[in-house]
């Protein structure tokens, strides 16, 4: 039966050729390293988010009067509801970790350089879309934590000159975080942002496949590839087949990340879900210390370091724009870290700043 189906598809679509070209005859550089597996890890994690998100949608009620109770019901009454919710909530944090590692590895190996600018830009937008998904999803349980964290986050937009107040009202759908905010965040979280993310992931993978995977800039025989003035797919003759040789490494790292996710879900969900996440939102009681999620702490603290919030916001905007346009700023063809001391110094300083300001934000 399966053989007949295969034959049917083979005659009409030539699937043998597609599979060969993308699996067994798809050759990767000989020195491809473990950091190249993070893309596969991220796809797995995004699929997990999609599945758990759909399951949560079955029971979640996007209405301030019922949202908290519906999440409480998911946690306590729906069979394995707690597991699905924790996989979704903790999984979003693991995705951010994987995204940051992916970005850092691409930066370190200079893989963002010409002709891979579009891959980088689409990846950077994906990172920001993921942040937007985290922010919008944070409000949905309508807990004290989500209500006040969203109030603080949307309040930051008020620092933009002239249109600040209007921007805050637009984000919230009113003067305060309320019904309208939950409605628009819900729509963004379950429909708009996932659709954009799916489309952009497709484009990102298309770019990776179309231009060819970059060779890691390590080893004595490495030389920067010559960038031509026309389209050229980078081949790796004599390289290792993607399937099964490298796919098994993808699987190894995917299992490793899933083990970490399951461990966090079962043993330390409190790392990402503090007690205030289990108290219903109360617009009349402001908690003492409202802090955003760990990956927004740097932005939160930056707003406090500078004398005005606008200045802080402007610095954040500059950093993010600089990163987005990096391939157009750093245009040299050299990718070997040892031969890019200035870039690597900025890279290390950047990581230290991110960690330092985040820790400062946590304890401030």
Partner 1 sequence: MAMSPERGFIGVPAYEAVPDFCGRCHIGVKEDYLLSAHGQAIAEGGANCVTCHGNHVVVKAGPEIINPEDCSQCHGYGQAGEIKAAIVKTDEMLASLAENLGFMGKKGIAVKSMESETFALRNDFRRLFHSVNVEKISNETADFQQRGMAIQQKIDAVQTELDQRKLIGGVVTGLLVLASLICFLIRKTYQQEEDGSS
Which residues of this protein are in contact with partner 1, per CB under 8 A? 30, 72, 75-77, 82, 238, 240, 244-245, 248-249, 251-253, 255-256, 258-259, 262-263, 265-267, 270, 273, 275, 277-278
CB 212 within 8 A of CB 233: yes
Cβ atoms within 10 Å of 38's Cβ, excluding its own: 22
Q: How far is the CB of 81 from partner 1 (least distance, A)?
A: 10
Report how far residue 14's alpha carbon sits from residue 10's, in angstroms, rounded to the nearest whole number: 4
Task: Give dist(CA 182, CA 277) in Å, integer.
Answer: 16
d(CA 274, CA 272): 6
Residue number, 278 or 354, with CB nearest to partner 1: 278
Judged by CB, which is closer to partner 1: 238, or 307? 238
Picking from 208, 154, 206, 216, the residue whose alpha carbon sits closest to that of residue 185 is 154
Q: Which two tokens stand for residue 336?
A: 């070997």
CA-to-CA distance for 148 and 337, rounded, in angstroms? 43
Structure tokens at 233: 């797919």
Long-range contacts of 85-90 (CB under 8 A, 24+ apart): 85/52, 85/56, 86/265, 86/269, 86/273, 87/48, 87/52, 87/261, 87/265, 88/49, 88/52, 88/53, 88/56, 88/137, 89/137, 89/269, 89/272, 89/273, 90/261, 90/264, 90/265, 90/269, 90/272, 90/273
Residue with smaller CB distance to partner 1, 89 or 168: 89
What minimum distance in Å lies between the beta carbon of 188 and partner 1?
25
Smallest separation, CB 63 to partner 1 (Å): 19
Query: Which residue, 261 or 326, is less far from partner 1 as judged by CB?
Result: 261
Return the number of the residue (87 or 188) whose C-beta is nearest partner 1.
87
Shortest distance (Å) from residue 26 CB to partner 1: 15
Q: How far is the CB of 362 from partner 1 (least distance, A)?
A: 19
The least CB distance from residue 335 to partner 1, in Å, is: 23
Q: Which of these, 60, 134, 64, 75, lies nearest to 283 by C-alpha position?
A: 64
Pick between residue 83 and residue 324 the one whose CB is nearest to partner 1. 83
The smaller minimum CB distance to partner 1, of residues 21 and 30, is found at: 30
CB atoms within 10 A of CB 273: 18
Minimum CB–partner distance for residue 282 and partner 1 (Å): 15
Q: How far is the CB of 332 from partner 1 (least distance, A)?
A: 31
Angle at the Cα of 351 from the Cα atoms of 329 and 213, rounded to 5 degrees = 55
- Residue closer to partner 1 by CB (options 82, 306) is 82
């Amino acid at each position: 039966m399966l053989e007949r189906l295969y034959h049917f598809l083979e005659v009409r679509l030539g699937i043998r050729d597609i599979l060969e070209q993308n699996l067994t005859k798809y050759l990767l550089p000989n020195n491809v390293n473990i950091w190249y597996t993070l893309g596969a890890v991220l796809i797995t994690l995004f699929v997990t988010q999609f599945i758990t998100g759909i399951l949560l949608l079955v029971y979640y009620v996007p209405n301030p009067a019922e949202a908290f109770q519906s999440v409480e019901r998911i946690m306590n009454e729906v069979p394995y509801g707690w597991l699905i919710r924790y996989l979704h909530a903790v999984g979003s944090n693991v995705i951010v970790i994987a995204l940051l590692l992916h970005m850092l590895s691409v930066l370190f190996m200079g893989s963002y350089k010409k002709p891979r600018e579009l891959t980088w830009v689409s990846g950077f937008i994906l990172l920001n879309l993921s942040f937007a998904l985290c922010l919008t999803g944070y409000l949905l349980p309508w807990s004290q934590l989500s209500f006040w964290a969203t109030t603080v986050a949307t309040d930051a937009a008020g620092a933009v000159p002239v249109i600040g107040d209007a921007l805050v009202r637009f984000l919230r759908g009113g003067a305060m975080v309320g019904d309208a905010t939950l409605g628009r965040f819900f729509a963004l979280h379950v429909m708009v942002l996932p659709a954009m993310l799916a489309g952009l992931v497709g484009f990102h993978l298309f770019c990776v496949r179309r231009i060819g995977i970059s060779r890691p800039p390590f080893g004595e025989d490495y030389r920067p590839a010559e960038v031509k003035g026309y389209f050229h797919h980078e081949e790796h003759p004599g390289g290792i087949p993607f399937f099964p040789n490298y796919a098994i490494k993808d699987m190894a790292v995917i299992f490793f990340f899933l083990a970490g996710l399951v461990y966090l879900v079962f043993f330390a969900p409190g790392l990402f879900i503090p007690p205030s996440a289990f108290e219903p939102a109360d617009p009349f009681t402001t908690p003492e210390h409202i802090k955003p999620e760990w990956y927004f702490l740097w932005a939160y603290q930056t707003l406090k370091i500078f004398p005005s919030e606008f200045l802080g916001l402007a610095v954040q905007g500059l950093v993010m724009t600089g990163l987005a346009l990096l391939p157009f700023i750093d245009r040299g063809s050299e990718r070997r870290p040892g031969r890019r001391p200035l870039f690597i110094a900025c890279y290390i300083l950047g990581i230290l700043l991110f960690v330092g300001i985040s820790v400062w934000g946590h304890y401030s």
